[in-house]
Chain A
Amino acid sequence: MKIDIILAGVGGQGILSIASIIGYAAVKKGLYMKQAEVHGMSQRGGDVQSHFRLADYEISSDLIPLGKADLIISVEPMEALRYLPWLSADGWLITNNQPFVNIPNYPDEELIKKEIDNLPHSLMINADQIAKDLGSERSANMVILGAASPYLQMDFEALENAVSEVFAKKGDDVVALNLACLNAGRTYAMEQIR
């Protein structure tokens, strides 16, 4: 068993907390894991990505080869497209549909949506709105993780436990909010799948 994920977003959007939740759950399961992160210059509002690899055998490369990613999980729609060369033929792209515009030449949103819709396996979700309705836009990344959860080959309960553990330090309210976001994302994805 192996699962290779590209996590994408803009510096400061919190893609690493998505990684730490999946990582926590994976390590509990006794899987091997490698996760290449981006630190440094790009974190100042530039494009950031993380190569996240899980397997039941020892993983060699910290980087995922092109065309081998099972999933692209993105917190930003244009950023999702930047990593398409990594997506495998039957891989899924799960992304927030809310653009993060910090450049003057950001492309037309409709064109981005069209590109994503043209892919054989993609799912867009308004994670910002769902998270806002539940209490805080800052938890949009958990909505996206929830939406990606059906494709993770992992029990949902393990993810819920990981959210509880990882956010425990921040108090019960934060845990509850993030769990609600995770569940809302999953519910949305399950409806789309049906």
Chain B
Amino acid sequence: MSKLLLLGDEAIAQAALDAGLSGVYAYPGTPSTEITEFIQHSKQAAEGNVHHIWATNEKTAMESAIGMSYAGKRALVCMKHVGLNVAADPFMNSAITGANGGLVVLVADDPSMHSSQDEQDSRFYAKFAMIPCFEPSNQQEAYDMTYDAFDFSEKYKIPVMLRVTTRLAHSRAGVERKTIRPQNEIRLHPNPKQFILLPGNARVYYKELLDKQTHFVAESETSTYNKLIDGPNKSLGIIASGIGYNYVKENFIDTPCPYPILKITQYPLPTEKIAQLLDECDAVLVAEEGYPIIEEQLRGLLNRTGNIKGRMDGTLPRTGELNPNHLAKALGIKEVHGPAIPEIVVGRPPALCFACPHIDSYNALNEAMAPYGKGKVFSDIGCYTLGALPPYNAIYSTVDMGASITMAKGAADSGLLPAVAVIGDSTFTHSGMTSLLDAVYENTPITVLILDNNTTGMTGGQDSHALGRIGNICKGLGVEEEHIRIIKPLKNQHEQNVQIISEEIAYQGVSVIIPTRECVQTLSRRMKAKKQHML
């Protein structure tokens, strides 16, 4: 079969389909979004009736995937790294229930925080839950490992994590496919009690999970994904995990690497292989994309041997993604640099699009808030987070999805008034609804602006579960009808919008303002599609 040119994300999606996937469950999040989008556009998926609709958030996605696995079918759940914090409860417990149909949890980490608020490393979660983890180093491995992960999951009745990082997720290369496997039929788990985690059962299955660990290590030991490549110079050994391996290899294109290399892309760690390398070599350099999780374990709390090098002793940078130059420096290889960046070059930060509805919302909000001084507007994650930058300087917090409303509540509780929250429509249904209920329950005096641009803009314009529902959701949660105000964020409505926002800020209870106008990007895409359709 000829090679397909695929992003790492697309390779994962294609592999899941070829492995007999029955459903993908996900909430968008860079750099994981393209996996689900690939399946949504795939003819193969449509023919196989593969579930592919976005979920409300990562927790609902994870739970739906567990449900599909319970029924005996193969399910994939995808999220960005911080999404796993949201899904952590079902994720941790799924390790104890185990899987029935193959269950693969894809987590895309974002070292260097290209589009994220932190660079947490999901391998910790795999270790925490005690489930196996695959960490592909290239697009072909992303395909192969996804394909294999479903078999692994069914062989050991365990969810399997696939961990990728931004670079691999968003880089394209040739990928060869395997044969297409049919989807599973519905079949229940041989032990139906497995999924009832009453303490009495949970203790039993937790013990089973512990017993499986030796098998997982044995698999890692013999896996072709973990290989020890010998080298004549034993003054140094290299452990390279995931795409860290590529950056080592990039430095040895013309000459073979003189040092032994242990490539690790399947976890739990292959202890015997590691022992062999440590025994043979005077020192070991650990190159991993993410937190120094392997390095920390090898050093131990006391770092007695002092011969483990990596991110913790400064041989490699402590933060951010790796690159070939970091490895060159660590290995003492001469680097070349092109000319320096001229001083006249300035930064070009991202900005709200021309005519974006959020611009008009912030202009009105800033004017309404002017009498109260700075520091009283809490916000959330989405395109509207750019309201933190000039010329708006309108918001003072961005912590995690949904936090705006509850942070405003906490601030109001403390007496910091008025307290205002700004949240996007998709973020509101993701995890703002329960926050609003907290405020309604206590009738906390906060004003919540739900910026309804009819889409999930930040991640590329996916459908928003909030579409056409926000007013009714707020009413249903108990916000008084006369304090649910819908406005149109447009320049020519500015005065009126300032007036309405000011009124609701003055109100001593929960009020919601819903500035409603479509994102200009999705609007122009829709218009283009319509025109094409009419031709």
Residues of A whose CB lies within 8 Å of any CB of B are 10-11, 23, 27, 32-47, 51, 57, 59-69, 78-79, 81-82, 84-89, 91, 102-103, 105-108, 111-112, 115, 119
Across the A-B interface, how many residue pairs have beta carbons closer than 8 Å? 155
With A27-B5, A33-B172, A45-B351 known to touch, is A82 a contact of B338 (CB < 8 Å)?
Answer: no
B345 touches A82 (CB 8 A): yes
The 21 sampled A-B contact pairs (Cβ below 8 Å) are A27-B174, A34-B172, A35-B172, A36-B171, A37-B171, A39-B30, A39-B34, A39-B115, A39-B170, A46-B348, A60-B245, A60-B253, A61-B247, A62-B243, A69-B338, A81-B342, A84-B338, A84-B342, A85-B338, A85-B339, A103-B349
B213 at the interface (CB under 8 A from A): no
Per the bound structure, the CA–CA distance linking A68 and B324 in Å amounts to 11
Residue among B5, B341, B344, B346 making CB contact with A85, cutoff 8 Å: B341
B348 touches A66 (CB 8 A): no
Tell me the nearest residue of chain A to B4, going by C-beta.
Answer: A27
B270 at the interface (CB under 8 A from A): no
With A42-B114, A66-B336 known to touch, is A106 a contact of B342 (CB < 8 Å)?
Answer: no
Query: Which 3 pairs from chain A and chain B are nearest by CB?
Result: A67-B336, A40-B115, A40-B30
Chain A residues within an 8 Å CB radius of B217: none
Centre residue among B173, B249, B335, B340 by max chain A CB count within 10 A: B173
Tell me the nearest residue of chain A to B383, going by C-beta.
Answer: A44
Per the bound structure, the CA–CA distance linking A16 and B250 in Å amounts to 24
A84 touches B339 (CB 8 A): yes
A65 touches B328 (CB 8 A): yes
B523 at the interface (CB under 8 A from A): no
Residue among B168, B172, B344, B353 making CB contact with A108, cutoff 8 Å: B344
Residues of B whose CB lies within 8 Å of any CB of A are 3, 5, 7, 30-31, 33-34, 114-115, 167-168, 170-174, 243, 245-247, 249-250, 253, 323-325, 328, 335-342, 344-353, 383, 386, 458-460
Residue among A38, A60, A106 making CB contact with B250, cutoff 8 Å: A60
5 more CB-based (< 8 A) A-B contacts, given A34-B173, A64-B324: A32-B174, A33-B173, A39-B34, A59-B173, A67-B337
A81 touches B345 (CB 8 A): yes
Per the bound structure, the CA–CA distance linking A9 and B349 in Å amounts to 13
Chain A residues within an 8 Å CB radius of B338: 66-67, 69, 84-89, 91
Per the bound structure, the CA–CA distance linking A33 and B173 in Å amounts to 6
Residue among B34, B253, B328, B350 making CB contact with A42, cutoff 8 Å: B350
A60 touches B246 (CB 8 A): yes
Chain B residues within an 8 Å CB radius of A46: 348-351
Residue among B5, B324, B348 making CB contact with A63, cutoff 8 Å: B324
Chain B residues within an 8 Å CB radius of A37: 7, 170-172
Tell me the nearest residue of chain B to A23, going by C-beta.
Answer: B5
B348 touches A102 (CB 8 A): yes
Chain B residues within an 8 Å CB radius of A41: 30, 114-115, 350, 458
Chain A residues within an 8 Å CB radius of B7: 37
Residue among B31, B346, B352, B353 making CB contact with A106, cutoff 8 Å: B346
Distance (Å) between the CB of A135 and the closest chain B CB?
18
Residue among B325, B336, B342 making CB contact with A89, cutoff 8 Å: B336
With A37-B170, A67-B337, A82-B341 known to touch, is A105 a contact of B346 (CB < 8 Å)?
Answer: yes
Chain B residues within an 8 Å CB radius of A82: 341, 345
Tell me the nearest residue of chain A to B324, going by C-beta.
Answer: A65
Chain A residues within an 8 Å CB radius of B246: 60-62
Chain A residues within an 8 Å CB radius of B3: 27
Chain B residues within an 8 Å CB radius of A85: 337-341
Chain B residues within an 8 Å CB radius of A11: 350
Chain B residues within an 8 Å CB radius of A42: 114-115, 350
Chain A residues within an 8 Å CB radius of B346: 78, 103, 105-107
Per the bound structure, the CA–CA distance linking A88 and B336 in Å amounts to 8
B325 touches A84 (CB 8 A): no
Per the bound structure, the CA–CA distance linking A85 and B337 in Å amounts to 5
A61 touches B324 (CB 8 A): yes
Residue among A33, A40, A44 making CB contact with B174, cutoff 8 Å: A33
Chain A residues within an 8 Å CB radius of B115: 39-42
Centre residue among B339, B348, B458 by max chain A CB count within 10 A: B348
Distance (Å) between the CB of A21 and the closest chain B CB?
12
Chain B residues within an 8 Å CB radius of A40: 30-31, 114-115, 459
Tell me the nearest residue of chain B to A76, going by C-beta.
Answer: B348
Centre residue among B243, B245, B335, B337 by max chain A CB count within 10 A: B337
Distance (Å) between the CB of B124 and the closest chain A CB?
23
A35 touches B31 (CB 8 A): no
Distance (Å) between the CB of B459 and the closest chain A CB?
8
Per the bound structure, the CA–CA distance linking A89 and B336 in Å amounts to 9
Distance (Å) between the CB of B435 and the closest chain A CB?
24
Centre residue among A34, A37, A41, A115 by max chain B CB count within 10 A: A41
Per the bound structure, the CA–CA distance linking A64 and B338 in Å amounts to 12
